[in-house]
Structure 1
Amino acid sequence: MDKIVILDFGSQYTQLISRKIRELGVYTEILPYNKPVFDENTKGLILSGSPYSVYENDAPIVDQSIFSKGLPVLGICYGMQLIAHFFGGKVSKAHKSEYGFATLEVVKPSKLLEGMDKTVVWMSHGDRLEKLPEGFEAIARTSNSPFAAIENLSKKIWAVQFHPEVYHTQKGKQLLSNFVLDICKAKANWNMENFLAQQIETIRKTVKDKRVIGAISGGVDSTVTAAILSKAIGDQFVGVFVNNGLLRKNEIEYVLNALNKLKINVRYEDAENLFLDRLKGVIDPEQKRKIIGHTFIDVFKRIAEDYKDAEFLAQGTLYPDVIESTSVKGPSATIKSHHNVGGLPKDLKFKLIEPLRFLFKDEVRKLGKTLGIDDEFINRHPFPGPGLAIRIIGEITKEKLDILREADAIVVEEIKKANLYNDLWQAFAVLLPVSSVGVMGDKRTYENVVAIRIIESVDGMTADWAKIPYEVLNNISTRIINEVKSINRVVYDISSKPPSTIEWE
């Protein structure tokens, strides 16, 4: 399968480059800048942006031999400056930084910029190219950047100062298409049908007659993983669904029904009492997370003892998890270590199977549809691993969980009634550790307060609170106060991320 390799120099937009190209039907791989790997399927190379300046002493520098592979190369922002630096150009701090919108003017016809003249692009740089390297020509400019795009046809190198991968660049996808499909001649054969067939074949060859077990949370990632394994090896796969007592209303029945429809071999384990006993009296949110994580591992280890022939563990690891957890030390130093990327207990001696490890979230949803999973399930809002434990501020009790479950269900029901659910990233309720004075039936009450969190986002990295119609908010508030015992006040969270996070804990 043809692919484009993207070398990551630490840009916050690197994953966007990959996703945009995959939308064109071409497979991509993101690699650390100092570990370039090419094979016969590599049709082109992209150098990402970076928070560094190329003239700094500790700036990330790629091996110059990559330019002698005969592959077309596209440099983006820092990638452009790095190319100029290698070939004798001059990069220096700009007298006037360029952040935001700019109008691109094509000054020389180029395959890269076909269909791009007089279009709006997104700039984000404090440095600029002052002198062209020998053999390079300017092909576009903006009011502040005389060399907004350059090329060297004999060396098959193109570079742009702006970011074609971001939404704000109006025809950015056109530029990437020009490079990937027209210049690199990559075949657009990346789709979920081909990917699924390839994964099924790989799993069968790897597993043979052995057993695979895997945890199913009821989320999209673990369910799609389970569906792939089930399609590949049938009942040789055992999916373990653990009730930790921290799930949403009717979640157990909903998930088990969905898994049964997919004919997945499922083992259900009720561990509610164990989890709640261990969480008793715990207030600190980080401590809650650790207890829940350790308890789940204890439960899973006990279950695994029943399957002596199991040699493999299936996980729903996604590509962003892999990228963030394997970045080299430097400009893209590890952002966070994910629990399912190298975080297994050493005494769980399984070989890993991670069929989704090269997919982004939107691709997982497409794969789910290919597998026949209902749209309603595929489009479910994200739900945190620790469940409702981090939506109850303070100590966790069965009574509080039951109160929150009812309030949360009303939020989702009303959002769906208003046909807003699929336009939102998340909508949920949070039980606060405060009581409020109220009047109900001419009597004074002193009851719980619930906060409603409804947000819009593309990828969860940034988010804004949703401007829900007042009528919908009114319906949510009225129903919660009337129908849920022990709540007499509802508030709406109007915080954006950043500076706030999506969850309260």
Structure 2
Amino acid sequence: MESISKVIIIDYGSQFTQLIARRVREAGVYSEIHPCIVTAQEVKAMRPSAVILSGGPASVGDADAPALDMGFLQLGVPVLGICYGMQLLAHNMGGALASSETREYGPADLQILKSCPLFEGIAQEDASRVWMSHGDKVKAAPAGFDVVGRTETLDIAAMADESRNIYALQFHPEVHHSVDGTQMINNFLFKIAKIKPDWTMSGFIESVIRDVREAVGPEGNVVCGLSGGIDSTVVAVLLNKAIGHRLHCIFVDNGLMRAQEVEEVSSYLREHFDLNLTVVDASERFLSKLAGVDDPEKKRKIIGYEFIEIFDEEAHRIENVAYLAQGTLYPDVIESISHKGPSAVIKSHHNVGGLPEKMKLKLIEPLRELFKDEVRKVAMELGMPDSIVWRHPFPGPGLAIRIIGEITAERLEILRKADKIVQNELTASGWYRKVWQGFAVLLPLKTVGVMGDGRTYEHVIALRIVDSVDAMTADWVRMPSEILERISSRIINEVKGVNRVVYDISSKPPSTIEWE
């Protein structure tokens, strides 16, 4: 990435750090997040165009609080401190801090006190709504800094040292609640750092193809597990462009996919992208292993283990395979590196659980620099259809965790038919692209009903339709009643064995998106 502009974000543990990176990238500038244990010398080697210091939950005065490497201020590039980053700058440059009586969390009105490149294009006469989340505050700005913004509760909400190109905000411009936040970030990038917006998906694709060819060489083979989801599909198409049929894609049909999913995805990828694709029908193998199992964690472990075994068996049939391609995304990478260092890693990520260690293959992760929305942009650049680009998230264990209780061929058939109706109606009504996820769940109970002149005692389908940005939180969607009525009517009339449909109106948290 040395050939393009780069903003380095130093992560002090804020819940909004990823948002900073996303806002910078949305402006067409490449950004990377690094934990606050990174040194200024290491950052210098990255050749940054600017540095942003993130917020964080600590108090600067605490003994174990993350510190500021003052070398960041000697790199010769503009620096922007946000929240904790502003407090670090004040504390280390001769200013003074004070503890707030209560933590300030929520909206505030920023009054711009002085013209400043950071606020260019923002009306000074009107208050700008911003989002606060802090426990400490700057009581006195360091020498050389002008106080350029205040709020009703903060005398110093923004400060700037234009001669040294150091700027700081006590609020969070990266969250959408800060009305002019995007303008402020863009001003920092383009007015202050004078960065060229040269981060494009077409350029990314070219660099991946070049790097993969160089890494794999003229004779090496790569194996890739396809799930039908957008991440693994984009990886497969990208690598196919780089090395052609030396990429061996393996699609394991575990019998737990949605209606016609395996056929539709595999045929499309073969016909339109000429993928070297092997589809392994292992449905009977999976269903036999899952027979009589109703515990959700046991289901997951069985499915994960069998997938690894089958993938391993198929991969060993291919000669001269040295690489495994995975759809690891940038959030996976970030979450595997704690801002406090290796001892506090949140979680380790391996998209294909256990495979890298078991198979002794080198990893190729072409999407490890991208967020989910950027993966979709790559997919569109590659000419993929909307049905793949905007496909709703689908869990690795498939329908197994949408069938509550034991999995049988009969129950799978009921759920597939019901879920297909849900997908069809969401698409036909224009709601598919409006929601994060919508699906059917088969419950482990039967209820009394009446059909015609007879009494029935049949299955219950629950509808789960949620909206989200990143799946960390989600809210149930207030769907138009006529659409819910149509879905319910079709399922009850068209899916044999179902006589009742209910709608899940739980949010995450406390509930999860999936039922198991």
User: Shorter chain as normaliser: what TM range?
Assistant: over 0.9
Q: Paired residue for 1:154?
A: 163
SS at match of 1:297: helix
How far apart, in 2, do the equivalents of 1:159 and 1:6 lie? 14
For residues 202 and 240 of structure 1, do their structure 2 counterparts lie closer, same or farther at Cα, with a shift above 3 Å needed? same
Q: What aligned pairs does 1:451-470 form with structure 2 within 5 A after superposition?
A: 451-470=462-481
Q: What aligned pairs does 1:49-68 form with structure 2 within 5 A after superposition?
A: 49-68=55-74
How far does the alpha carbon of each residue in 1:297-321 deviate from its partner, in whole angstroms, 9 at most, with x for none? Answer: 1001100111121111111110001
Q: Paired residue for 1:101?
A: 107
Q: What aligned pairs does 1:479-494 form with structure 2 within 5 A after superposition?
A: 479-494=490-505
The offset of 1:186, in angstroms, is 1.5
Instruction: State the TM-score, normalized to the length of structure 1.
Output: 0.97
How far apart, in 2, do the equivalents of 1:193 and 1:56 lie? 46
CA contact (8 A) 1:434 1:449 kept: yes
Q: Paired residue for 2:244?
A: 234
The offset of 1:342, in angstroms, is 8.6
Q: What aligned pairs does 1:323-402 form with structure 2 within 5 A after superposition?
A: 323-329=334-340, 333-340=344-351, 343-402=354-413
How far apart, in 2, do the equivalents of 1:128 and 1:70 lie? 27
1:17 matches 2:27: no
Q: What aligned pairs does 1:104-253 form with structure 2 within 5 A after superposition?
A: 104-116=110-122, 117=124, 118-208=127-217, 209-253=219-263
CA contact (8 A) 1:13 1:49 kept: yes
Counterpart code for 2:177: H
SS at match of 2:58: coil
Instruction: State the TM-score, normalized to the length of structure 2.
Output: 0.95
Q: Paired residue for 1:429?
A: 440
The offset of 1:4, in angstroms, is 0.1
For residues 162 and 331 of structure 1, do their structure 2 counterparts lie closer, same or farther at Cα, with a shift above 3 Å needed? farther
The offset of 1:443, in angstroms, is 1.6
Q: What aligned pairs does 1:233-312 form with structure 2 within 5 A after superposition?
A: 233-260=243-270, 261-312=272-323
Q: Paired residue for 1:88?
A: 94
1:450 matches 2:461: yes
Say how many residue pairs are matched. Answer: 505
CA contact (8 A) 2:221 2:246 kept: yes
CA contact (8 A) 2:308 2:353 kept: no
The offset of 1:439, in angstroms, is 1.2
For residues 246 and 13 of structure 1, do their structure 2 counterparts lie closer, same or farther at Cα, with a shift above 3 Å needed? same
How far apart, in 2, do the equivalents of 1:320 and 1:193 lie? 21
The offset of 1:329, in angstroms, is 4.0
Mean Cα displacement is larger for which, 27-36 or 341-350? 341-350
How far apart, in 2, do the equivalents of 1:418 and 1:313 lie? 40
How far apart, in 1, do the equivalents of 2:83 and 2:293 lie? 48
SS at match of 1:103: strand
The offset of 1:193, in angstroms, is 0.6
The offset of 1:90, in angstroms, is 2.2
CA contact (8 A) 2:253 2:280 kept: yes
CA contact (8 A) 2:51 2:78 kept: yes
How far apart, in 1, do the equivalents of 2:504 and 2:199 lie? 41
CA contact (8 A) 1:10 1:332 kept: no
How far apart, in 2, do the equivalents of 1:14 and 1:31 lie? 10
How far apart, in 1, do the equivalents of 2:512 and 2:86 lie? 34
How far does the alpha carbon of each residue in 1:286-345 deviate from its partner, in whole angstroms, 9 at most, with x for none? Answer: 221121111111001100111121111111110001111222546994333323289535
For residues 396 and 40 of structure 1, do their structure 2 counterparts lie closer, same or farther at Cα, with a shift above 3 Å needed? closer
How far apart, in 2, do the equivalents of 1:312 and 1:339 lie? 14
Q: CA RMSD in A?
A: 1.6
CA contact (8 A) 1:11 1:332 kept: no
1:473 matches 2:484: yes
How far apart, in 1, do the equivalents of 2:340 and 2:315 lie? 35
- Percent of residue pairs identical: 54
In the alignment, which of 26, 33, 55 is matched to residue 30 of structure 1?
33
CA contact (8 A) 1:449 1:490 kept: yes
CA contact (8 A) 2:8 2:48 kept: yes
The offset of 1:156, in angstroms, is 2.2
Counterpart code for 2:182: K
CA contact (8 A) 1:84 1:133 kept: yes
For residues 193 and 178 of structure 1, do their structure 2 counterparts lie closer, same or farther at Cα, with a shift above 3 Å needed? same
SS at match of 2:228: coil
The offset of 1:396, in angstroms, is 1.4
For residues 41 and 187 of structure 1, do their structure 2 counterparts lie closer, same or farther at Cα, with a shift above 3 Å needed? farther
How far apart, in 1, do the equivalents of 2:500 and 2:472 lie? 30
For residues 280 and 192 of structure 1, do their structure 2 counterparts lie closer, same or farther at Cα, with a shift above 3 Å needed? same
How far apart, in 2, do the equivalents of 1:294 and 1:403 lie? 26
CA contact (8 A) 1:312 1:352 kept: yes
SS at match of 2:415: helix
For residues 73 and 240 of structure 1, do their structure 2 counterparts lie closer, same or farther at Cα, with a shift above 3 Å needed? same
Mean Cα displacement is larger for which, 256-265 or 307-316? 256-265
CA contact (8 A) 1:7 1:33 kept: yes
For residues 481 and 276 of structure 1, do their structure 2 counterparts lie closer, same or farther at Cα, with a shift above 3 Å needed? same
Contiguous gaps of at least 5 residues in structure 2: none
In the alignment, which of 316, 328, 331 is matched to residue 327 of structure 2?
316
Mean Cα displacement is larger for which, 470-479 or 395-404? 395-404
CA contact (8 A) 1:325 1:341 kept: no
CA contact (8 A) 1:138 1:147 kept: yes
Counterpart code for 2:416: R
How far does the alpha carbon of each residue in 1:242-261 deviate from its partner, in whole angstroms, 9 at most, with x for none? Answer: 10111001101111122112
How far apart, in 1, do the equivalents of 2:305 and 2:10 lie? 36
The offset of 1:134, in angstroms, is 2.4
CA contact (8 A) 1:242 1:271 kept: yes
How far apart, in 2, do the equivalents of 1:500 and 1:334 lie? 25
CA contact (8 A) 1:454 1:466 kept: yes
Contiguous gaps of at least 5 residues in structure 1: none
Counterpart code for 1:25: G
The offset of 1:107, in angstroms, is 0.8
